[in-house]
Amino acid sequence: MSRKQKGRLPMNVILLKHFDFDDPAVFTGWAESEGHRLTILNPTQQPLDPLLLDDTDLLIIGGSPTSAYEEDQYPWLAPEKAFVKQAIDREIKVFGICFGAQMLAELLGGRAYPHSLKEIGWHTIHRNNEAHPALAALPDSFRSLQWHGDTFDLPPGATLLAGSEYCANQAYAWGEHVLAVQFHLETSSPCINTMLDVWESDLKPDTPSIQRSADIVQESERTVESFAMLRGILNAFADMSPVQKV
C-alpha cells in the first residue's frame, strides 16, 4: 500500500542529477506511486535557486563523475554545496548517494578524498549493529552496484551504518534528517551498460575491487531487488519524524 493510499501527505522532492545518462527511473516511479511531486535538476547546467527549498521536504543528491572536493575545476560545485548546506541548516531531509554522500561528509565537517583503490561492480554491503529506521527493512548483507574512486571520513556526530570489504564507510546518518550511502541501488540496467561503455577505462583487469565487465552485466538482474530496497529506504526515511526545532 502506498503512502498516498495510507492518507499521508505528498512530499515535494528535489533530485539533483549530475550527468545526462544517469537514469532517474526508480525515483520517478517511486514518486508517482507514492503521490509525491518530483523535480529533477542538473546543477552542472542550471543554477539552484535557494527559494526552491521553501517547499522542499526531501532533497536527494545523486552520483557524479566529479569529485566532491573539485570546486577549483567545476564552477557549479561550490554553489551546489551552498544550496545543500542551506537544506541541512533548515533541517530539510537530505539523502546523498555516492558523490552526494561524500559532499555531505564535507559539509558536515568530515573530508572527501581519493580512496586507495576503486570499487566497481557488484559488491556485498554489510550492515553493522547500529539500528536506523530508514534501513530497518534491509537485510544484514546484500549486493549493490558500486562505482567510485573516492571515499570520505565520517563527519563528527555521524553514525556509521554499513561497510564493505574494500570501503569501510558505506552508509551513515547524521541526526534525523541526513542519510547517506556510498553504493548505488538506483542504477538501472541501461545506465550500467552506458557506464561500462563511457567509463571503460576504469575497469582495470586483475584488480580484486573491480569486477569484470561481463560479470557486472551478468549481475545486472539485481537491479530489480536494488530498486525495491531503495524504495523501502526512501519511504522509511520519509516516514521518520521531522527534527524538532528549538
Catalytic residues: 98, 184, 186
Which positions ≥6 away from 22 have C-beta within 8 Å? 62, 63, 191
Cα distance between residue 7 and residue 236, in whole Å: 16
Closest CA to 105 of 181, 13, 187: 181
User: What residue ranges in 90-140 does DSSP mark as E strands?
Assistant: 93-97, 111-127
- Write down the H helix ranges in the chain: 25-34, 77-89, 99-107, 189-198, 213-218, 223-239
